[in-house]
C-alpha cells in the first residue's frame, strides 16, 4: 500500500501508538501485537517512528517482533534504529539477531559496513545472521541476479533472509540444506526452496534441519514450519518445544509455529510445554492462545490483513475509517 493511498484512510496513529507502547499500562500483549501488525501493513514513516519508540519496552518477545516488522516494511530509514539495537550487547540476542536480519531484509548497501562489525560477535546467532544479511544484500543489489530473482518469485509475502533456490527436486534441496560445507546463505536458499514446494516430503526434509548444530538455523526451520502450517511438522516442532535444553529462541519459534498450525494436538502440546519455557517462549504461547481464542467482531469497515509469519491477523476496524 503506497503512502499516498494510506493518507486517505484517516489512520488513528495516536491510538495505535498508545496501544503498541502500552501508554495506559494495562494493554494486553495480544492487543499490542495487533497494533504492531497493523502498523506493519501501513508502511509510512510515522509507522516506523512508532515501532521504533516501542523498542524501549522490556519484553524481548515484543522487541523481536518490532525489529522483524521494521525489516518487512523495507524502508531504509529504519536502518539507524536497527543498527543501534544490533550494537547494544546488553540486548537479548534474539532481538539483536532480528535487527540484523531486518537490515538484510531492507537491503541497503550502506548497511553492510555496520553488519561487518559483528561478524565475530560473541553471540554465534548474531554473527551468523550478520553473515546472512550481508550475503542477501549483495545478492539483491547485484544486477546479475535480476533474472533469477524474477524467476524465483516466492509464493509468500514475507521478505526472507535468502531467496528460494530455483531447483524443484526435494532430494537435491534436502542435500543442500544439510551440507555443512556450504555457505549458510546457500543452505537457507535450499530451506526456502523446500518451503515453496511445501508438500509432506519437503516438510520431512526440512525437519532434519531441526537437528542442525546452529541454533539460528534450527530457529529458521521452525519459522518456515509456521509459514507452511503443515500438520506433518507437528511432531518435530513438538519435540523441539518440549526440549528444555534447546535454545530458547528456537523453542519460542516452535511455539509460534505450533500456534499457527493450530491443530487440537499442537495447541494442547503448546499449552503443556509452556510450563518449562523461558519467559519469552511462555509469553509467545500465551499470546498465541489469546489470538486463537479471539474472534473479531465483523463490521462494515473491518479489514483483516493476513501475515505469513504465522496466522496472525491485524484488525484495523477501530483505527481506520
Among 165-169, 240-244, 282-286, 294-298, the minimum mean pLDDT is found in 294-298
Phi, psi (degrees; rounded to nearest 5) at 268: -65, -45
Angle of helix 184-197 relative to helix 215-228, nearest 10 degrees, comes to 20
- DSSP class of residue 305? E
The distance between the two most distant Cα atoms of the chain, rounded to a whole number of Å, is: 55
Which stretch of 142-146, 215-219, 264-268, 299-303 has the lowest confidence by average pLDDT?
299-303
pLDDT tens-digit map of 224-253: 999 999 999 999 999 999 999 999 999 999
Q: Where does the chain hold its CATH 1.25.10.10 domain(s)?
A: 1-141, 154-270+281-289
What dotted CATH number matches 154-270+281-289? 1.25.10.10
Residue 168 has pLDDT above 60, yes or no: yes
Percentage of the chain modeled with pLDDT above 90 = 74
How far is it, in rounded angstroms, from Cα 262 to Cα 73? 27
Given a cut of 90, is residue 106 above it in pLDDT?
yes
Compute the average pLDDT of residues 59-64. Answer: 95
**Arithmetic mean of pLDDT, 158-166:** 95
State the CATH architecture for 1-141: Alpha Horseshoe (1.25)
What φ, ψ does residue 314 adopt, rounded to 5°?
A: -115, 125
Q: In the predicted model, is pLDDT for residue 284 greater than 80? A: no
pLDDT at 278: 55
State the pLDDT at residue 152: 82
pLDDT category of residue 86 using cuts at 50, 70 and 90:
very high
Over residues 3-17, the pLDDT tens digits come to 666 665 789 999 999
What's the rounded Cα separation, in Å, for the pair 234 and 26? 34
Q: Is the pLDDT of residue 297 over 70?
A: no
Give residue 290's pLDDT. Answer: 43
What confidence category does residue 291 fall into, taking pLDDT thresholds of 50, 70 and 90? Answer: very low
Q: Point out which residues pair with 306 in neighbouring strands.
A: 313
* pLDDT for the residue 224: 98
As a whole number of angstroms, the distance between CA 243 and CA 43 comes to: 38
Q: What pLDDT does 9 receive?
A: 76
Give the C-alpha separation, 238 to 95, whole Å: 24
Please report the pLDDT score of residue 264 as a whole number. Answer: 53
Give the rounded percent of residues in the chain with a pLDDT score beyond 70. 79
Q: In the predicted model, what is the mean pLDDT of residues 168-184?
A: 97
Please tell me the distance from the alpha carbon of residue 166 to that of residue 146, in angstroms, as a whole number.
13
As a whole number, the mean pLDDT across the chain is 86
Chain segment 120-132, per-residue pLDDT in tens: 999 999 999 999 9
Q: Output the pLDDT for position 277.
A: 52
Q: Is the pLDDT of residue 315 over 90?
A: no
Per-residue pLDDT, averaged over 194-203, amounts to 98
pLDDT of residue 307: 41
Amino acid at each position: 500500500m503506497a503512502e499516498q493511498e494510506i493518507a486517505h484512510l484517516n489512520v488513528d496513529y495516536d491510538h495505535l501508538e498508545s496501544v503498541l507502547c502500552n501508554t495506559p499500562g494495562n494493554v494486553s500483549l495480544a492487543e499490542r501485537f495487533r497494533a504492531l501488525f497493523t502498523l506493519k501493513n501501513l508502511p509510512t514513516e510515522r509507522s516506523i517512528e512508532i515501532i521504533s519508540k516501542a523498542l524501549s519496552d522490556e519484553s524481548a518477545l515484543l522487541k523481536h517482533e518490532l525489529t522483524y516488522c521494521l525489516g518487512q516494511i523495507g524502508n531504509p530509514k529504519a536502518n539507524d534504529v536497527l543498527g543501534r539495537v544490533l550494537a547494544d550487547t546488553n540486548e537479548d540476542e534474539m532481538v539483536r539477531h532480528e535487527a540484523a536480519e531486518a537490515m538484510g531484509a531492507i537491503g541497503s548497501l550502506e548497511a553492510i559496513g555496520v553488519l561487518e562489525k559483528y561478524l565475530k560477535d560473541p553471540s554465534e546467532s548474531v554473527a551468523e545472521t550478520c553473515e546472512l544479511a550481508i550475503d542477501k544484500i549483495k545478492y539483491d543489489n547485484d544486477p546479475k541476479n535480476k533474472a533469477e530473482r524474477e524467476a524465483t518469485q516466492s509464493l509468500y509475502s514475507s521478505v526472507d533472509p535468502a531467496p528460494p533456490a530455483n531447483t524443484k527436486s526435494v532430494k537435491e534441496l534436502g542435500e543442500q540444506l544439510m551440507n555443512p560445507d556450504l555457505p549458510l546463505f546457500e543452505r537457507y536458499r535450499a530451506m526456502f526452496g523446500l518451503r515453496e514446494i511445501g508438500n509432506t516430503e519437503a516438510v520431512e526434509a526440512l525437519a532434519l534441519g531441526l537437528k542442525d548444530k546452529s541454533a539460528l538455523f534450527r530457529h529458521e526451520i521452525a519459522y518456515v514450519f509456521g509459514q507452511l502450517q503443515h500438520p506433518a511438522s507437528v511432531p518435530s516442532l513438538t519435540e523441539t518445544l518440549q526440549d528444555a535444553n534447546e535454545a530458547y529462541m528456537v523453542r519460542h519459534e516452535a511455539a509460534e509455529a505450533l500456534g499457527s498450525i493450530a491443530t487440537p494436538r499442537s495447541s494442547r502440546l503448546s499449552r503443556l510445554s509452556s510450563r518449562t519455557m523461558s519467559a519469552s517462549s511462555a509469553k509467545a504461547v500465551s499470546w498465541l492462545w489469546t489470538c486463537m481464542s479471539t474472534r473479531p467482531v465483523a463490521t462494515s469497515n473491518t479489514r483483516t490483513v493476513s501475515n505469513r509469519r504465522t496466522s496472525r491477523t491485524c484488525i484495523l476496524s477501530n483505527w481506520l475509517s
